[in-house]
Amino acid sequence: MKIQRMNINDKPHIIDMMETFYNSEAVLTNGSREIFENDINACLSDSPYLEGYTLKEEDKIIGYFMLAKSFSTEYGKPCIWVEDIYLIKEYRYQGLSKEMFKFIEDKYPNHLLRLEAEKSNESAIKSYKKNGFEIMDYLELYKNNNGN
């Protein structure tokens, strides 16, 4: 498996995967084509906030993930949010997440790594715990500030 930065040729494949991912039980929101386009465009730009990567087996895209950057005042260090982790079905349960997390840890040493999972997504939670993540007992809140 190879991990590479997203490129413009990957865009249609990633959008298809995002539509599948966001319409699954692994995600509470459905997303939209506009959001998917915005996310990928940010990954393809020189955005300081978001990076996008593909997982490839030979030349076939078998998954993707995005990394969002922030700072954790709670831990006093930069934070990488691992967003939208998606593998197509036939490549799941093969230990590929271990390679992906190793890639992220090597790229961002001394960073706090965080991610979210639906409580019902037991297989994902098991994988994350196996890769060293711990469950935090936080309630997350959000407000979509559209500037209105």
pTM: 0.90
Going by C-beta distance under 8 Å and a sequence separation of 6 or more, which residues neighbour residue 102? none
pLDDT for residue 41: 97
State the Cα–Cα distance between residues 95 and 117, nearest whole angstrom: 18
Q: Is the pLDDT of residue 19 over 90?
A: yes
How does residue 144 score in pLDDT terms, banded at 50, 70 and 90?
confident
Tokens (6 digits) for 69: 């950057």
Tokens (6 digits) for 53: 């990567």
Tokens (6 digits) for 136: 């935090």
Q: Is the pLDDT of residue 51 over 90?
A: yes
Span 20-34, pLDDT tens digits = 988 887 777 778 899
Span 108-117, pLDDT tens digits = 999 999 999 8
State the Cα–Cα distance between residues 100 and 86, nearest whole angstrom: 11
State the Cα–Cα distance between residues 30 and 23, nearest whole angstrom: 6
Tokens (6 digits) for 73: 């005042």
